Amino acid sequence: MKHRFTIVTCAFALTMQGCAASKPISRGAPVTAQAKAFPFPTTEKTLPSGLRVFVVEYDSPGLVAYYSIVRTGSRNEVEPGRSGFAHFFEHMMFRGTAQFPTEKYNAAIKAMGADSNAFTSDDMTVYHILAGAQALPTIVTIEADRFQHLEYAEAEFQKEARAVLGEYNKGASDPLQPMVEALYDHAFQTHTYKHTTIGFLRDIEDMPNQFAYSRQFFDRYYRPDNTILLIVGDVTADKVLPLIEEHYGAWSTGPARPTIPVEPPQPREQRATVPWKGASLPMLFIGYHAPAFSTTNIDSAALEVLAELVFAERSPLFRRLVLDEQKVEHIDGSVERHVDPNLFNILARVKQGKDVPYVEKAIYDEIARVAAQGTDDKTLAEVVSRTRYAFAGNLSTADRVALVGSEFLALTGKLSTIDDTFALLAQVTVADVKRVAAKYFTPQNRTVVVLEPGEQ
């Protein structure tokens, strides 16, 4: 199953088991400020239970993408000692029901010629099927069944919990895993973004003993008022909605869900060193606290533009460190969209350990230069155009429309925020870029992790 193992942006390729929600950068002609990114006819309906359904008509003859979005990720794992359960249920949801046990579910997927998968991130767990549109009645039947009637015995639970531990141990062979863990563990003291999506190792090791809690977690979060269905492709609302009402209509709401703790401002810079015995280049990983995703606060869009301006391959910093001085193999910077304030991340793979301090200072100096001087209007216009073109380019197929839509529905509950974000990017000015560079990229607001490989 695909899922986003870490909380770090896919632009760094830091996901340990793939990234269904990656945001590749495309290049092409400029996108006008007036263009809409999401022009597709959409019907929305809310059932009495609170289940929300979005049907998007998209020109994909004979194909439909069916996404079930649970607005729960590692962010919602608030009880101490119980991190990792959002990701765990991504696995357990394929364990089957009385009506469709695992073998029968898999046979139904195979008979449809469908692709069924899932991913977990900080703010969501998403289950998705891509199939022929004629299979929609079967898709609705099997998906409604497993969301309402998931069954598993304690032995099955423990087997899957041990599999998650194996997955963690496999990821531990990549030096980025301990770096990500160290960065977020040091950067967050209160908020649940402190742990990665797969969870703390100590909690994963104890997971086989948490069978009773797993039932509580499922009962709490897998409810209609916490779930959104997004159906995109060769479909119409008049055919989809009656099926949804028939098969999901009896799904009932559940207990109240706990609130997420608020992270206080970071008082001082945090630093950590991660020793590494295996083969690896030295790496520098820096995180700056950044605001939550917003379609009204220009800072969100300005930080996306700043990431492209400062860290893209055509940027002065990239040319200096990677091409001219050849001290760095790769450098990247990005900010992901999150429900709550998270981090703007910078990763540099440095060729020699002695150059890590030099590279770190070069990064700080370049951001300080942008904060003081900004950039010229022509360069900003080009960067904004590329950023918007990449954003719109992600909506190129029914499945990708559903993928992007699932992110925005999980974050905001609205598909309209796709166009809001697209429009906000066009409003970013040089003054905005200078302001966010000065406001967020301060020493006390950052956490620094350095990977130090041992001698081979």
Instruction: Give the side-chain half-sphere CA count within 13 A for 217.
Output: 25
289 pLDDT more than 80: yes
161 pLDDT more than 80: yes
Distance CA(312)–CA(305), nearest Å, equals 10
Helices 298-311, 430-440: axis angle to 10 degrees equals 90
Instruction: Characterise 286 by phi-psi region: left (phi > 0), alpha (psi -120 to 50), beta (else).
Output: beta
Six-digit token pair at 263?
A: 């992270």
Confidence of residue 343 (pLDDT cuts 50, 70, 90): very high
Distance CA(191)–CA(183), nearest Å, equals 14
Q: What is the mean pLDDT of residues 277-293?
A: 96
- What pLDDT, on the 0 to 100 scale, is given for residue 455? 58
- What pLDDT, on the 0 to 100 scale, is given for residue 454? 83
Q: What is the mean pLDDT of residues 386-398?
A: 95
The per-residue pLDDT for range 88-137, each reduced to its tens digit, is: 999 999 999 999 999 999 999 999 999 999 999 999 999 999 999 999 99
Ordered DSSP codes for 393-415 = HT-SSHHHHHHHHHHHHHHHS-S
The more confidently predicted of residues 193 and 19 is: 193
The per-residue pLDDT for range 62-94, each reduced to its tens digit, is: 999 999 999 999 999 999 999 999 999 999 999
The per-residue pLDDT for range 217-276, each reduced to its tens digit, is: 999 999 999 999 999 999 999 999 999 999 999 999 989 999 999 999 999 999 999 999
- What pLDDT, on the 0 to 100 scale, is given for residue 278? 87
The per-residue pLDDT for range 20-32, each reduced to its tens digit, is: 332 222 323 334 4
The answer to whether the pTM exceeds 0.95 is no
Percent of the chain exceeding pLDDT 90 equals 91
- What pLDDT, on the 0 to 100 scale, is given for residue 139? 98
Look at 149-163, 235-249, 293-307, 442-456 and tell me which has the smallest mean pLDDT.
Answer: 442-456
